[in-house]
């Protein structure tokens, strides 16, 4: 997919105040660790995650998405009457129906003519929403759109801790399928896209490439971030990186870029081993990447765009940078997006 008139104008994000370290989780898991003879420090050693954050118990995603969405709209400087689409793309939702986007639409006081819906694509939900809104703008159907999502991972982590402590039938092999659940954190992010004529920044979305390897759809399955998740982490990492390498080759061709012309990257935040293997496979310098996995954990669909917002704030991404967003999600689905960055708002 090629774009000529779509700009990524602004971000807004919200981080929880409560910090839960991997050491604290292991203290809560003392009984299971002792029973299964697991070494202390194993969780951080395996994942590279030092800590993650949680919103208060009972937080509904839409309430935080409204806050992040308002920040993004204000940062963009775009009149909200121009927002012709609102997509809510996180794994977490308020209800099965109606769409969580409806509550966010109401909270943000957007136009009744604004298209409103949720999109579900595991950790690629917000990126998928970005592509859909970019397509609408490129086709001239809307002038601007908002993509937002909020992941509330507390319940999944607490349920996993409880099960590990209480289910005496679990073996060390069973634990391997539950470790990924302990990496989950919480976070919220929103982004505004608009047509070039409406943009002050001229941050161009240039390319989007997608690839599906759904023969691996059973490697990570859950009923949502509120219940249990079972993940074959090793196999998912291997197949995900292989899919990412295949997608990256097509992405370079679609974008018309050489590998060395990419100035900065942002990828999905899974774990340090995944990141190391991915950059080795793509033959990219990890110094051009910005990571948050160590202190935010895996924040689901919010992870990649939230990390980009923080990278902009840290001035990791500079004017005239060519930026590659490298999204890999369970399914396995892969989406990579090219940006020509000009100005941060």
Known catalytic residue: 97? yes
Burial of 176 (0-12, 13-18, 19+ CB in 10 A): middle
Find the catalytic residue in 34, 97, 113, 215.
97
Burial 262-291 (b: 16+ CB within 10 A, else e): bebbbbbbbbbebbebbbeebebeeebbbb
| Gap between the Cα atoms of 297 and 293, Å rounded | 5
Cα distance between residue 250 and residue 246, in whole Å: 7
Q: Which residue among the candidates 7, 92, 114, 123 is catalytic per the annotation?
A: 123
For residue 142, the SS3 value is coil
The single residue listed with the structure tokens 């604004």 is 114
Gap between the Cα atoms of 127 and 114, Å rounded: 19
Which helix (H) or strand (E) segment holds residue 10: the answer is: strand 6-14
Q: Are 137 and 193 in contact (CB under 8 A)?
A: yes
Backbone angles phi, psi at 52, to 5 degrees: -145, 170
Cα dihedral 323, 291, 164, 16, rounded to 10, equals -100
Residues 177 and 183: their CA atoms lie apart, in Å, by 12
- Give whole-number Cα distances, 344 to 37, 53, 146, 178, 316, in Å: 49, 26, 17, 39, 11
Rounded CA gap, 29 and 43, in Å? 11
Catalytic machinery residues: 97, 123
């Amino acid at each position: 997919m090629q774009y000529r008139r779509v700009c990524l104008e602004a971000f807004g994000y919200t981080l929880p105040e409560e910090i839960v370290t991997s050491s604290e989780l292991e203290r809560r898991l003392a009984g299971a660790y002792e029973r299964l003879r697991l070494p202390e420090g194993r969780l951080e050693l395996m994942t590279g995650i030092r800590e993650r954050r949680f919103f208060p118990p009972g937080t509904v995603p839409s309430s935080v998405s409204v806050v992040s969405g308002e920040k993004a709209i204000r940062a963009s400087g775009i009149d909200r009457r121009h927002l012709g689409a609102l997509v809510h793309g996180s794994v977490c939702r308020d209800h099965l129906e109606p769409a969580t986007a409806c509550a966010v639409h109401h909270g943000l006081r957007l136009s009744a003519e604004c298209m409103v819906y949720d999109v579900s694509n595991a950790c690629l939900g917000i990126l998928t929403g970005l592509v859909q809104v970019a397509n609408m703008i490129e086709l001239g159907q809307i002038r601007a759109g908002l993509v937002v999502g909020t992941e509330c991972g507390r319940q999944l982590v607490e349920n996993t801790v409880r099960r590990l402590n209480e289910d005496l039938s679990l073996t060390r092999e069973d634990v391997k399928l539950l470790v990924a659940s302990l990496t989950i954190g919480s976070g919220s992010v929103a982004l505004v896209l608009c047509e070039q004529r409406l943009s002050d920044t001229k941050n161009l979305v240039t390319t989007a490439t997608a690839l599906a390897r759904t023969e691996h759809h059973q490697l990570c399955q859950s009923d949502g971030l509120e219940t249990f998740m079972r993940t074959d982490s090793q196999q998912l990492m291997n197949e995900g990186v292989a899919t990412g390498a295949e997608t990256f080759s097509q992405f370079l061709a679609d974008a018309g870029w050489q590998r060395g012309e990419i100035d900065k990257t942002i990828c999905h935040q899974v774990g340090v081993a995944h990141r190391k293997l991915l950059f080795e496979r793509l033959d990219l310098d990890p110094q051009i990447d910005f990571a948050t996995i160590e202190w935010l954990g895996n924040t689901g669909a919010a992870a990649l765009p939230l990390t980009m917002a923080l990278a902009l704030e840290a001035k990791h991404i500079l004017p005239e940078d060519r930026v590659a967003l490298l999204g890999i999600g369970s399914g396995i689905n892969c989406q990579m997006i090219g940006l020509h960055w000009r100005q941060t708002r």
